Amino acid sequence: MALNAAQKAMVARLTRETVPTIEALPRLLVLTPEEESLLSDDIDTWEGIQNSHVIYKGDGVDFNNKRKRIEIFYRVRTMLGLPFIPYDFDVVGGYSMNVGHTVRW
């Protein structure tokens, strides 16, 4: 099963790449059925939480949609052979670090 156009667009969005870049990835053509299933699951999860910024920690619960998006971002980029970029990368001003400050270049 190959990715459909909507799935390719979602992969582009979640990896911060363009659709033509995603479509041109050689790795996309040789995914195993198991990898395609995992990728499809990640796409579905991302689609459901992409605009949800809920964080709840307490009462034995640690719920954080940003953490889920970060995990999917790195997992999909790695699976498709895309180069590493920091999740908190800000193209205009550097990248934001989790310790609360921004590195400028």
Residue 103 has pLDDT above 60, yes or no: no
Reported as a pLDDT band with limits 50, 70 and 90, residue 102 is: very low
Give the residue carrying structure tokens 């995992």: 38
Burial of 72 (0-12, 13-18, 19+ CB in 10 A): buried
pTM of the model: 0.79
Residue 58 in contact with residue 47, Cβ under 8 Å? Answer: no
Sorted by sequence, the CB contacts under 8 Å of residue 90 that are 6+ apart come out as: 96, 102
Both tokens of 99, joined, read 């310790």
Distance CA 81, CA 54 (A): 30
| pLDDT tens per residue, range 58-81 | 999 999 999 999 999 999 999 999
More confident residue, 76 or 98: 76
